Structure 1
């Protein structure tokens, strides 16, 4: 399982660069099979909640507007935040790197990286395409759409630049 997860995670950024497909809309999303998305991350920083995606071991991609700091608690492997699940892993935040072109109140370059001790993803046709930038506080409501930051080539290059200097 660890090898599978490592291989899956190590290919996410490569897929971003080479897959040109894009989703134009999400219609009637549905609950994922329990624990089928092990890279999904829940970030709790009282009283705010944010989502993220594990892009490499120890690195989470989220939205910059979440203003994550070192008090944030990270949960990995959860299907339900409130239920007791053996798959859950809990981490603390060691470091936050916000995109240098992000400006508070703007939704351009709304991305940040978190290094854990070890905003939610948009996945289209099995490919990571974005992170939640803004929308209604309640997720998954059909009448309440969310807007995502596109993980374009500039942002993907920024992620690689940040991670290559730190690994």
Structure 2
């Protein structure tokens, strides 16, 4: 009987995780201040913006692995306004490096590195964001961080031209697992739960930033619903992939 019950619970968890939706933009946030977040990137295909991302070196941008489904072709850096690209830095994507064991959004391992066609100049207009040093030092429950992007500002809304940002609090994995009835390994939960702040559809791949460090990558919420409070928003935990990140950048 216990074996049968475990199988039932397992398939319930899979069914619930299957209801998730690609994560994205900013609910109840505000327009980002000028000359801040100089690492933010718009990942684009031939139609335009499809995902967020963030600069981690002169020639690499980090984003979510599921963004590859949109066939991104280029990255736009150095601007907060996607309608004003005259001074933006644009690079084509040379290679997409999805985490090798990634299968689908909601199943974890949702992280990808984009090799740019040409290095960018790091100056007062562009700066990479710091990554965690190791997997041991971790963020604390209830720590206030922020997430930014260009996607929808409400369920069923439209994407925005100006970069927007919102503060979100980190939620314990215990509470996150209880609300989701199970989440993938190596994730961080923040926002969307017991608050009216979080991300929405249109800008997966953006960073969860705590104390100036990109600790997470926007991965998914539930059912394309941004009517918070709801279950917690889920991010890929960058600290769990540091060896892969370093090796990929070094050997590319």
How does the TM-score come out when normalised to structure 1?
0.70
Per-residue Cα deviation, 1:18-65 (whole angstroms, up to 9, x for no partner): xxxxxxxxx964332123111100011245610111100010110001
Larger Rg: 2
CA distances 1:68-118 after superposition (whole Å, capped 9, x unpaired): 6875121001111113452x1111110011101111244411001101122
Q: 1:39: which partner in 2?
A: 39
Point out 4+ residue stretches in structure 1 off by more than 6 angstroms.
Answer: none
Note the residue ranges of structure 2 that are not aligned, 5 or more in a row: 1-26, 119-204
Name 1:80's counterpart in structure 2. 81
In structure 1, what is the equivalent of residue 221 of structure 2?
135
Judge conservation of contact 1:70–1:93 (CA < 8 Å) in 2: no
Distance 1:101 1:43 in 2: 22
Tell me the distance in 2 between the aligned counterparts of 1:71 and 1:158. Answer: 22
Query: 1:107-162 deviations in whole A, cap 9, x for unaligned?
Result: 41100110112211111121111111123799xx673774211112x311110111
Alignment length (residue pairs): 137
Partner of 1:101: 101
Question: 1:97–1:114: 8 Å Cα contact kept in structure 2?
Answer: yes
Alignment partner, residue 156 of structure 1: 242
What is the alpha-carbon root mean square deviation over aligned residues? Answer: 2.9
Match of 1:9 in 2: none
Distance 1:30 1:101, change over 3 A: same
Gaps of 5+ in 1: 1-26
Question: In structure 2, how many angstroms separate the alpha carbons of the residues matched to 1:120 and 1:33?
Answer: 17
1:147 to 212, 234, 245: 234
CA deviation after TM superposition for structure 1 residue 163, in Å: 1.3
1:13-24 maps to which residues of 2 (within 5 A)? Answer: none
Where does 1:101-120 land on structure 2 (aligned, <5 Å)? 101-118=101-118, 119-120=205-206
Matched residues in 1 for 2:98 and 2:74: separation? 17
In structure 1, what is the Cα distance between the partners aligned to 2:46 and 2:222?
18
Whether the 8 Å contact between 2:92 and 2:116 is mirrored in structure 1 is: yes
Determine which structure has greater relative contact order: mean sequence separation of CA pairs < 8 Å that are 6+ residues apart, divided by chain length: 2
